[in-house]
Structure 1
Amino acid sequence: MAIHNLFVPRARIATFKVQLRIEDLNNVPPLNGLFYVKWRFQDHSGSTARVPVVNREVRWSQTAEKSADIAITKDGALAPCELKISIKQEVYPHVHMAVGALAVNLSEYAQLSGSPRRYFLQECRLNCTLKLSISVEQTGGPDCYEVPPLDRSMVLTDLNDMITNESSARAGRENSSMGNSLSSKQHSAMRNNNNNNIIINGGGGGSSSRPAKSASSVHTNTTRSNTTETSQSRALLPIDNTNVRDLAPFQRSSKKNQKIVDDVFFASPILPT
């Protein structure tokens, strides 16, 4: 049991299994030397291997699993359990420089999944981010407590996670829209089937059932028949050019010219006496 939990009743102490996975440090300039991470919470501490910079990244992918006893306050909430992380650069065997630091409250991760998250570093001189996977799973003690909200001021959502979430959301919207269009098509098909299955009762006491045509098809057929009859009646009418001649421009001049032509070509010849 941790020293700060000595004066807390055992009935208000919950035991958790903490899995810490230190993934990588990105956006690192090409510097000489080796980088490593030191971590500590309660009575546990450790460090990663010393790794050089490759393609502006330092990758460890190292896991540590420890247990932690977290007290429950009188208000029914988990007390803070701080995880301290520091990134160091080993320039020479006896020369170490601080790159950045990070402080995380493990109580905030009691009901969260162990998915990786990127964190802004404090007092960082390289402007890089650290990727961690933190899993806090209860193994003993009371389970009636409140978990403090996650401090997202230092959490940076990974770009790959953003792309994945956006793709899944877009696929869900497309599936929902496709389902709506299919449902509308199904409704229209059902309406057409209902219209085709209408039963018409005949006169004279007898009854005869036959599928009735829909109103849209009857209207279309009627319009087509009226159009055909009108075109046929217009084709059989004789053509009268009288009105066209009366309305033609320069009517008087055309009649005068026509009279001259008639006098010249169609007048009876005058025989000599």
Structure 2
Amino acid sequence: MNNPLTQPKFDLTLRIIDLNNVPLVTGTAFIKYSLPSSSATSGEHTGRTERCPITEHKVQFDYARTFPVRLTIDKSNNLSECPIHFEILQEFHSGTVTKVERVPLGHVVLNLAEYVEESDQVDGEEGVVRRYLLQDSKINSTLKIGVFMKQIDGERNFVAPPLRTAAVFGGIAGIMAGEREGVEENVGRMFH
């Protein structure tokens, strides 16, 4: 099934909207993203936003780009995973005016295959817009991203994986739900 003629081809509209809860109030931030080179159809598997200023603990990117992406179908007719990696970086001047420090703030990884079904259900090309908590990060910044996957060619008889809960919502809600469950389980029990 790895025949390029049967592999579904999509126009990916990627929107990197903003980053909030940035601890520093000065400097700039930018985002680099990359796809596996096998899924990019025209050598456009990497990109980056402009450097944008941090203003009141927020960075407004308003970045949008559309490019073709090819996904694969496995033997069970399921769309295979297609990760897109986002690396969030901050730059600021330290000490001298000429020395610029670059600090990684964290990263986000999304599976584009999960957005195929959801993209069919939304109006317009704004796509599925969500906030994601930065991973491998010491800060609680969230990145707002929009993903729209429009199929333009290839096999249509496949099963797309469901869109998972965003880490920012699942993380905070999961902690609160876990605390409530622990309280409810222990109500009425005596501990010695």
TM-score normalised per structure 2: 0.73
Residue 147 of structure 1 pairs with residue 148 of structure 2: no
Q: Kindly tell me: are residues 153 and 115 of structure 1, through their superposed partners in 2, closer, same or farther at Cα, counting changes over 3 Å?
A: closer
CA separation of 1:10 and 1:50: change in aligned 2, threshold 3 A = closer
Matches within 5 A, 1:115-130: 115-130=128-143
Aligned to 1:20, which of 11, 14, 17?
Answer: 14
Residues 80-159 of structure 1 aligned to structure 2 (within 5 Å): 80-92=81-93, 94-113=100-119, 114-156=127-169
Alpha-carbon distance between aligned partners in 1 of 2:167 and 2:65, rounded to the nearest angstrom: 22
**Relative to structure 1, is the Cα distance of residues 32 and 55 closer, same or farther in structure 2, using a 3 angstrom cutoff?**
closer
Q: How far apart are 1:27 and its partner, in Å?
A: 1.3
- Report the secondary structure of 2:113's partner residue: helix
CA contact (8 A) 1:12 1:73 kept: no
Unaligned regions of 5+ residues in structure 2, if any? 38-44, 94-98, 120-126, 171-192
In structure 2, what residue type is equivalent to 1:99?
L
Question: Which residue number in structure 2 is paired with residue 68 of structure 1?
Answer: 69
Shift of 1:30: 3.4
Q: List aligned pairs for 1:102-251, cutoff 5 A.
A: 102-113=108-119, 114-156=127-169
Q: Is the 1:70–1:78 contact (alpha carbons within 8 Å) kept by the matching residues of 2?
A: yes
Displacement after TM superposition at 1:125 (Å): 2.0
SS in structure 2 at match of 1:24? strand
Conserved in 1, the CA contact under 8 Å of 2:130 and 2:166?
no
Which amino acid letter does the alignment assign opposite residue 75 of structure 2? K
Ranked by relative contact order (alpha carbons within 8 Å, sequence separation 6 or more), the top structure is: 2
Contact 2:25 2:55 in 1 (8 A): no
Shift, 1:94, TM fit: 4.5
Say yes or no: does 1:38 pair with 2:32.
yes
For residue 35 of structure 1, report the CA deviation from its aligned partner. 0.5
2:54 matched to which residue of 1? 53
Alpha-carbon shift at residue 115 of structure 1 (Å): 3.2
Q: 3-state DSSP class of the match of 1:109?
A: helix
Which of the pair has more CA radius of gyration? Answer: 1
Give 3-state SS (helix, strand or coil) of 1:73's partner.
Answer: coil
Is the CA contact (8 Å cut-off) linking 2:29 and 2:52 kept in structure 1? Answer: yes
| Higher share in helix | 1
What is the aligned length?
151
Q: How many percent identity over aligned positions?
A: 31
Amino acid corresponding to residue 70 of structure 2 in structure 1? D
Identify the structure with the greater strand proportion: 2
Aligned to 1:217: none
Is the contact between residue 117 and residue 156 of structure 1 (CA under 8 Å) also seen in structure 2? Answer: no
If the length of structure 1 is used for normalisation, what is the TM-score? Answer: 0.52
Equivalent residue number for residue 243 of structure 1 = none
